[in-house]
Amino acid sequence: MISVVGSLVLVASALLLAACGTTTTTTPTPQTVIGKVATPPVVKGDATAGKQVFETAGCKSCHTLKDAAATGTVGPNLDEKMPPQALVIDRVTNGKGVMPSFSGQLTPKQIADVAAYVSSVAGKS
């Protein structure tokens, strides 16, 4: 007859062996993609409308931009950085560091407008 301790050892051994086995990694990414991935529509910005957005959305309080008579010092000096339009869209949409995201306050069109404005005037005045 097997003792209680012997039974526990057998059960523990069986569980340990059951947990052992070959390890494989499974990823949720398919090996082959069929079809096309949808791309979001491109919103064309209007620099004139973007100046209005820059002046009313609070951009002036944090950034320096001579064309807008903005002298903020919390964020980067846009005349010195001269960010490209894509970077402005990303930062206004997603924020970074102390800059918050404005995607909840501005429409995609307004974001494209302010990006067109900043990228077209930064460092040029």
* Spans of all domains in the chain: 52-121
Q: Left, alpha or beta for 103 (phi > 0: left; psi -120 to 50: alpha)?
A: alpha
How far is residue 27's CA from residue 10's CA, in Å, rounded to a whole number? 35
Q: Measuring CA to CA, which residue among 111, 98, 125 is closest to residue 50?
A: 111
What token pair was written down for 3?
């003792």
**99 touches 121 (CB < 8 A):** no
Write down the pLDDT at residue 117. 98
Determine how many CB atoms are found less than 10 A away from the CB of residue 54. Answer: 24
Write down the pLDDT at residue 43. 82
- Structural class in CATH, domain 52-121: mainly alpha
What token pair was written down for 72?
């903020």
How far is residue 24's CA from residue 26's CA, in Å, rounded to a whole number? 6
Reading the chain (125 residues) residue by residue, the pLDDT tens digits are 557 666 666 666 665 555 555 566 666 776 776 788 777 777 899 999 999 999 999 999 999 999 999 999 999 999 999 999 999 999 999 999 999 999 999 999 999 999 999 999 999 97
pTM exceeds 0.85: no
Query: Residue 20, class by beta-carbon neighbours within 10 Å (0-12 exposed, 13-18 middle, 19+ buried)?
Result: exposed
